[in-house]
Amino acid sequence: MKGALLVAGCTSDAGKSVVVAGLCRLLARRGVSVAPFKAQNMSNNSVVTLDGGEIGRAQALQAQACGLEPSVRFNPVLLKPGSDRRSQLVVRGKAVDTVGAADYFRHRTALRAVVADELAALRDEFDVVICEGAGSPAEINLRETDLANMGLARAADLPVLVVGDIDRGGVLAHLFGTLAILEPDDQALIAGFLINKFRGDVTLLEPGLKQLRDLTNRPVLGVLPYAEDLWIDAEDSLGTVADAPVGRPGPPVGGEWLTVAAIRLPRISNSTDVEALGCEPGVSVRWVTEPSRLAGADLVVLPGSKSTVTDLEWLRRTGIADALLDHAARGGPIFGICGGYQMLGQGIEDDVESRRGFVTGLGLLDLEIRFEDPKVLSRASGSAGPIPVQGYEIHHGRVTRTGDAPLLHADDGSAEGSVRGSVSGTHWHGVLESDEFRRSFLTEVAQRSGRTGFVVSPDTSFAAVRAAQLDLLADLLEEHADVDAIVSLIENGAPQGLPIIHV
């Protein structure tokens, strides 16, 4: 088996990332040498790779589905939005510029070469490469600079499978319209459709599927059911909706629940850090955006941010900052991660991201931060007492002074993070995925919150939950998609002579 496929989507969050992960897992289980590829990603959910760069979190999950370690090769261009108009440009894992739309335009020739080189190298090394598009290929206003959708498909002669989210409504129109709005040479590579998140009786949908095929002469190669258990490693912040639960926790082992309020910052980064908490039986995690939602929470998590100073101002403007201070004054546990950790300190000197100079922090930790270039990018490991902990670092902030006890110690013996009473934090992302550390941490939270009936599960494995989700994705495709037809596209490309839709 040899070839490649591009999975595009009618919209962001249509299911491209999970379909790619599922196809990668399915093929890997069949013994195929397969790799994921996303030419250009826009996401603040990223992870540090073994080769010392950062890529989108979804591509790290897709790599795991293939049985591979994350690599910058799988996501050579990453845009990390810091505001509505400007994003940090990361190329082959390293930040090279901060760009707006006009700035990005001048980078396009060099980036197109980077993308082409990486994809060609992957296709030489692996039997199959499953590519993921970005946003929608129907964004014709961006077609000239497109690196990840039809621009990539045309350059590499890739067959394209378009995914539509029926849960949003209007999926048949979305699929037809996505095809019809494209120029003829782009349409010629659209080889089929896949419908995602279907609920109910599929026979009711079948007349529409037949009409879509009659109109386009392209098949719907699967209707995937809505699966509530699929939620780990969200592609971007669209999955972090205010008041939405994180995960599907089982009933408590003991007699009481723990409630966690995770602050949904406007420029949240690595929102996936709280997902390990959502795996724990008896732990209810919700995203919150207003101070009233902190009332009664046993734990408040302040996650990372791509725009730390701006998001700190948002905390104050919304009243959440005061609610955090009240929560801490009552002895309530607060845990900050990366940018959230920095906000908990005495102050931040920022002449890099916001260029605001010195900004006063929340003052809950005796900690001072200065932002510097270059960005810290590293995999991290250490311990909290006898408990092993692993994580990774992606940040400009350096600790210039701390008067608090450390939360962790790195393997080299250096102190990391801070603990002051019920308030703690760390620059390390991913620490809550370390099972022993998470259990110890939740046990302490329960004690401080007076939840004497809460008992932490002794055997929850976050890695096992993540692996089970990948297998579930592959199982759904095996059962509900025409895998043989998808394999044929990978091996043979888009059929010749597909009709062009004129509008």
Residue 196 has pLDDT above 90, yes or no: yes
Q: 175 with 223: CB under 8 angstroms?
A: no
Report the C-alpha gap between 269 and 246 in whole angstroms: 16
- Region 370-393: what's the mean pLDDT? 97
- Region 312-339: what's the mean pLDDT? 98
The helix (run of H) or strand (run of E) holding residue 94 is strand 94-99
Contacts of 424 (CB under 8 A, 6+ apart): 333, 334, 335, 336, 407, 417, 418
Q: How far is CA 473 from CA 103, 179, 241, 276, 331, in A?
A: 38, 26, 23, 19, 42
Q: 388 with 428: CB under 8 angstroms?
A: no
Q: Give the rounded percent of residues in the chain with a pLDDT score beyond 90.
A: 89
Residue 238 has pLDDT above 60, yes or no: no
Residue 120 has pLDDT above 90, yes or no: yes
Residue 235 has pLDDT above 70, yes or no: no
Query: 219-228, 229-238, 440-449: lowest mean pLDDT where?
Result: 229-238
Q: Give the number of other CB atoms < 10 A from CB of residue 377.
A: 19
Edge-to-edge strands, sheet with 128-132: 34-37, 128-132, 3-9, 160-165, 190-198, 220-225
Pairing between β-strand 220-225 and β-strand 408-410 as defined by DSSP bridges: unpaired
Domain 254-457: give its CATH architecture. Answer: 3-Layer(aba) Sandwich (3.40)
Give the model confidence (pLDDT) of 133-176 as tens digits: 999 999 999 898 899 999 999 999 999 999 999 998 999 999 99
For residue 145 the two structure tokens come to: 């600079």
- Region 299-303: what's the mean pLDDT? 98
Q: Do 254-457 and 3-231+466-492 fall under one CATH topology?
A: yes
Model confidence band, residue 234 (pLDDT cutoffs 50, 70, 90): low
Instruction: Name residue 92's amino acid.
Output: R
Instruction: Supply the pLDDT for residue 240.
Output: 66
Q: 257 phi and psi, to 5 degrees? A: -90, 155
Instruction: Supply the pLDDT for residue 100.
Output: 87
Nearest to residue 363, comparing CAs of 340, 374, 347? 347
Report the C-alpha gap between 118 and 151 in whole angstroms: 15
Return mean pLDDT, the chain: 95
For residue 187 the two structure tokens come to: 């349409």
Report the C-alpha gap between 61 and 74 in whole angstroms: 11
Q: 54 with 46: CB under 8 angstroms?
A: yes
Report the C-alpha gap between 86 and 104 in whole angstroms: 10
Ordered alpha helix ranges (H), 384-461:
435-449
Instruction: Supply the pLDDT for residue 239.
Output: 56
Give the model confidence (pLDDT) of 457-503 as tens digits: 999 999 999 999 999 999 999 999 999 999 999 999 999 999 999 87
Q: 434 with 443: CB under 8 angstroms?
A: no
Nearest to residue 44, comparing CAs of 240, 229, 260, 320? 240
Report the C-alpha gap between 172 and 193 in whole angstroms: 10
Task: Transcribe 247-304 into DSSP letters.
Answer: S-PPPPSSS--EEEEEE--TTEE-GGGGHHHHTSTTEEEEEE-SGGGGTT-SEEEE-E
131 is catalytic: no
Report the C-alpha gap between 149 and 138 in whole angstroms: 9
Domain 3-231+466-492: give its CATH architecture. Answer: 3-Layer(aba) Sandwich (3.40)
Instruction: Supply the pLDDT for residue 129.
Output: 98
Instruction: Supply the pLDDT for residue 65.
Output: 98
Report the C-alpha gap between 469 and 479 in whole angstroms: 15
CA atoms within 13 A of residue 268's CA, in its CB half-sphere: 27
Residue 326 has pLDDT above 90, yes or no: yes
Residue 377 has pLDDT above 60, yes or no: yes
pTM (2 d.p.): 0.94
Residue 108 has pLDDT above 90, yes or no: no
Q: Which of 10, 24, 338, 396 is catalytic?
A: 338
Domain regions of the chain by residue span: 3-231+466-492, 254-457
Give the model confidence (pLDDT) of 25-75 as tens digits: 999 999 999 999 999 999 999 999 998 899 999 999 999 999 999 999 999
279 is catalytic: no
Residue 347 has pLDDT above 60, yes or no: yes
Instruction: Supply the pLDDT for residue 327.
Output: 98
Cα–chain center distance at 173: 28
Residue 237 has pLDDT above 50, yes or no: no
For residue 89 the two structure tokens come to: 């440009």
Contacts of 141 (CB under 8 A, 6+ apart): none
- Region 319-347: what's the mean pLDDT? 98
Residue 376 has pLDDT above 80, yes or no: yes
Residue whose structure tokens are 């900052």: 321
- Region 198-217: what's the mean pLDDT? 96
Model confidence band, residue 241 (pLDDT cutoffs 50, 70, 90): confident
